[in-house]
Amino acid sequence: MMIEVTVKETEPMTVAFVAMRGAYAQIPDAMGRVYGYAGQSGLVPAGMPHAVYFTPPEQGPESEAVWEVWAPVVGEPPESGPDANGLGVKRVAGKLVASTMYKGPYEGIEPTYRELGQWVADHGYDMAGPPEELYYSDPADTPPEEYLTEIRFPVRKRQ
């Protein structure tokens, strides 16, 4: 498998977020929670939903994983939270990322992560933050083999 990698600068953004712990099977529920929160808070979604993975898989069981789901929103509403339910609003700085697209069911994404990590190491970059996924497909109306997911690794050029 050969992946195509782009190094690019992301734009700063404001996101509604939900802080999560445990199994990634909770992602659909977390998406519903964060978009429900955004709607109740009068926030207008803008852009693709994100998941950000703070715990690398090799650092322990998925049941202890720490991650967030982000819903980018219009404007610059005040930052808040996380509240008792893990929900809030925050600003996210722009950053340099190595990015690739993955097409297929989420269960098959791991080899693309490995390839992107190898590409980063082979091209003189170091990881500079937790990996992110951007979801371009709605599982409600897209078959799993057609899911499009952008994988982003924040990077910095090695000195």
Average pLDDT, the chain: 94
- Strands 87-92, 13-21: pairing kind: antiparallel
Helix/strand/coil for 142: coil
Give the per-residue pLDDT at 59: 80
Give the per-residue pLDDT at 117: 95
Domain parsing of the chain, residue ranges = 6-157
Give the per-residue pLDDT at 159: 86
| Model pLDDT for residues 89-120, shown as the tens digit of each residue | 999 999 999 999 999 999 999 999 999 999 99
Contacts of 63 (CB under 8 A, 6+ apart): 22, 23
Q: Which fold has domain 6-157?
A: Multidrug-efflux Transporter 1 Regulator Bmrr; Chain A (3.20.80)
Chain position carrying tokens 């996380």: 82
What are the φ/ψ torsions at residue 158 (nearest 5 degrees)? -70, 140
Cα separation, 153 vs 103, whole angstroms: 17
Does pLDDT of 5 surpass 90?
yes
Cβ atoms of residues 88 and 17 within 8 Å: yes
Q: How confident is the model at residue 61 (pLDDT cuts 50, 70, 90)?
A: confident
Cβ atoms of residues 16 and 70 within 8 Å: yes
Over residues 48-74, the mean pLDDT reads 91
Does pLDDT of 11 surpass 80?
yes
CA-wise closest residue to 135 among 16, 2, 27: 27
